């Protein structure tokens, strides 16, 4: 189903492209030896290179190049063995040199793609135009003083990957799915932590609208620096709506940079038109062109971890889990690893079921993540083993899991301590059932005269009498036998 917005003149289609700025995971900055770590006391992660002192020369960090190449490989993109750095000139207080070192004409990574999964179960391919390396700027703080802005250069010079998509996105949902998938790939490869709250992933959103069937694009607007997936989706909706109103009122949309205000749910023009981008790019004379070897790219490729798509396909084939289960288990690498530890040596389908159900619920309840889970993978595997070998039934297992979360004891220790071992002694089950039937002769008569639904009532009563420890299959079987006597 195509996403359409209905205006007064009929339906409109939206066209969206995203420019994602992803902070590269590295120890040091792109061109200096200062720390790239987030936070830190103001202006301490700053070298004289980052502060733009005269005579300071940039020296490229090899690991940042490797990270860009790894990301390119993860996006199945062309890796350009020749690339070059350019100066993008503009004046802003948190840009000490007056230019940002970026890659304009010759980016390190060319065309690639991202496969996104949509809610209706379909998959779409979103093209990646390019990925290039560039420096981040410093941070301006505007709320400390009525007349002055404060500048912290800790982030100035930190390596960013700008990942530009093709204008292939046709709905807010697709934009959200693209960002989630991109973040997942970056996190799997370890090239960006994807933390949008700390600003390590930010998006510029290009939006235009057109009538379905039009083949040319109309004028687009760029919404700068949107810092959450939800806001990206909201911004697309309100900006598309605004443009449709402009077109339908007989006006034309101006190409401009806009800002998304999520409180007022609107976009506003950010820069006056005469200040339109004129960055006067030119090759940075301080840096030789970057030439990398195919053999090095191959080495990096060999060392790449298993990527989300491949991992998901493998979990489905190897463990027989459903596509939905595999996609949830693969959102984070750590979750997939945890699952595999549980599933090796346990009933793999049962393991998936328990992880997506009671185990995730326990994590949510305790506010813990998979990394500091109160129950280890080995612990969960032991619990599932007790279900599989009929030591306990599924219902009791839920109780045991809660106890494990609470006390940290092992499943078998809890079963022993609380005496939860399931009763498989047919004699004991039969005697419990006979007591129930004797105490409910009226219901037995109703059942026999055709009220089949009462069967569940007898099961419930029996389990209650046995404190939940009856083997469900045996209870059912024995009940059927005694009720037909």
Partner 1 sequence: MSLDAKTVTRIARLARIGLQPGEVETLGQDMGSIIDWVEQLKEVDVMGVDPMIGTGLAKPRLREDRVTDGDCRDKVLANAPEREGPFFTVPKVVE
Contact residues for partner 1, defined by CB under 8 A: 26-28, 32-35, 41-51, 59-65, 84, 89, 91-93, 140-142, 144-153, 259, 270, 278, 280, 283, 287-291
Token pair belonging to 49: 């290179």
- The dihedrals phi and psi of 125, each to the nearest 5 degrees, come to -100, 125
Compute the distance between CA of residue 228 and CA of residue 468 in angstroms, rounded to an integer: 46
Q: How far is the CB of 291 from partner 1 (least distance, A)?
A: 6
Tokens read off for 460? 């419930």
User: Do 286 and 314 contact (CB within 8 A), yes or no?
Assistant: no
Q: How far is CA 402 from the centre of its chain?
A: 28
Whole-angstrom distance, CA of residue 78 vs CA of residue 129: 10
Q: CA–CA separation, 240 vs 251, rounded Å?
A: 14
Report the residue number, 291 or 304, with the smaller CB distance to partner 1.
291
Return the closest-CA partner of residue 169 out of 139, 224, 124. 124
- Least CB distance to partner 1 at residue 95 (A): 11
Q: Which is nearer to partner 1, 26 or 171 (CB)?
A: 26
* 84 versus 187: smaller Cβ distance to partner 1: 84
Measured from the CB atom, the residue of 255 and 390 that comes closer to partner 1 is 255
The answer to whether 303 touches 157, Cβ cutoff 8 Å, is no
Query: 235: helix, coil or strand?
Result: helix
Name residue, tokens 């006006």: 251
Task: Name the strand (E) or helix (H) holding 10.
Answer: strand 10-23
- Please give the torsion angle defined by the CA atoms of residues 26, 32, 36 and 39, in that order, rounded to the nearest 10 degrees: 180
- Choose between 67 and 335: whose C-beta lies nearer to partner 1: 67
Of 49 and 463, which CB lies nearer to partner 1 in the complex structure?
A: 49
Burial 425-434 (b: 16+ CB within 10 A, else e): eeeebbebbe
Nearest 10 degrees: CA dihedral of 469, 471, 472, 476?
-120
| For partner 1, the closer CB: 270 or 454 | 270
Q: Which is nearer to partner 1, 204 or 358 (CB)?
A: 204
Tell me the three-class secondary structure of 325-384, residue by residue.
Answer: HHHHHCCCHHHHHHHHHHHCCCCHHHHHHHHHHHHHHHHHHHCCCHHHCCCCHHHHHHHH
Residue 257 CB, nearest approach to partner 1 (Å): 11
Pairwise CA distance, residues 426 & 433, whole Å: 10
Strands 221-226 and 257-261: parallel
| Phi-psi region at 482: left, alpha or beta (left = phi > 0; alpha = psi -120 to 50) | alpha
Cα 134 to Cα 141: distance, rounded to the nearest angstrom: 22
- Number of residues that this document lists for the chain: 485
**Minimum distance, C-beta of residue 379 to partner 1, in the bound complex (Å):** 38
Closest approach, Cβ 44 to partner 1, in A, equals 5
**Pairing between β-strand 123-135 and β-strand 112-117 as defined by DSSP bridges:** antiparallel
The structure tokens listed for 55 are: 């005579």
Tokens of 285: 């004379």
């Amino acid at each position: 189903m195509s996403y359409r917005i209905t205006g007064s003149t009929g339906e409109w289609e939206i066209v969206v492209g995203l420019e994602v700025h992803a902070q590269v995971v590295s120890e040091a900055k792109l061109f200096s030896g200062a720390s790239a770590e987030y936070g830190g006391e103001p202006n301490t992660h700053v070298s004289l290179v980052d502060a733009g002192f005269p005579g300071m020369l940039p020296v490229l960090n090899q690991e940042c190049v490797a990270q860009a190449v790894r990301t390119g490989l993860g996006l199945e993109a062309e890796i350009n063995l020749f690339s070059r750095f350019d100066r993008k000139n503009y004046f802003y207080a948190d840009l000490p040199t007056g230019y940002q070192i970026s890659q304009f004409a010759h980016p390190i990574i060319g065309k690639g793609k991202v496969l996104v999964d949509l809610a209706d179960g379909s998959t779409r391919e979103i093209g990646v135009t390019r990925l290039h390396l560039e420096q981040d700027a410093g941070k301006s703080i505007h709320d400390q003083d009525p007349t002055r802005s404060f500048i912290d250069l800790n982030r100035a010079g930190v390596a960013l990957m700008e990942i530009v998509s093709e204008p292939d996105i046709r709905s807010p949902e697709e934009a959200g799915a693209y960002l989630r998938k991109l973040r997942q790939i970056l996190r799997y490869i370890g090239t960006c932590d994807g933390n949008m709250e700390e600003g390590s992933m930010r998006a510029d959103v290009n939006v235009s609208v057109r009538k379905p069937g039009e083949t040319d694009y109309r004028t687009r607007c760029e919404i700068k620096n949107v810092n959450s997936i939800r806001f990206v989706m909201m911004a697309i909706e309100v900006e598309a709506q605004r443009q449709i109103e402009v077109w339908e009122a007989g006006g034309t949309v101006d190409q401009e940079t806009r800002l998304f205000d999520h409180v007022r749910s609107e976009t506003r023009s950010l820069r006056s038109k005469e200040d339109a981008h004129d960055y006067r790019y030119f090759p940075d004379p301080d840096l030789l062109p970057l030439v990398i070897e195919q053999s090095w790219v191959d080495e990096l490729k060999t060392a790449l971890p298993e990527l989300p798509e491949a991992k998901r396909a493998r979990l489905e084939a190897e463990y027989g889990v459903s596509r939905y289960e595999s996609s949830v288990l693969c959102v984070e690498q750590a979750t997939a690893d945890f699952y595999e530890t549980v599933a090796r040596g346990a009933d793999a389908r049962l393991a998936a079921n328990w992880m997506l159900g009671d185990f995730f619920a326990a994590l949510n309840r305790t506010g813990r993540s998979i990394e500091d889970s109160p129950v280890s993978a080995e612990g969960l595997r032991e619990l599932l083993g007790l279900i599989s070998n009929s030591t306990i039934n599924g219902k009791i297992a839920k109780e045991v899991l809660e106890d494990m979360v609470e006390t940290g004891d092992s499943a078998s220790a809890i079963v022993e301590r609380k005496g939860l071992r399931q009763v498989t002694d047919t004699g004991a089950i039969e005697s419990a059932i006979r007591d129930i039937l004797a105490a409910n002769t009226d219901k037995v008569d109703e059942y026999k005269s055709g009220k089949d639904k009462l069967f569940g009532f007898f099961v419930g009563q029996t389990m209650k009498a046995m404190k939940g420890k009856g083997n469900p299959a045996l209870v059912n079987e024995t009940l059927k036998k005694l009720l037909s006597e």
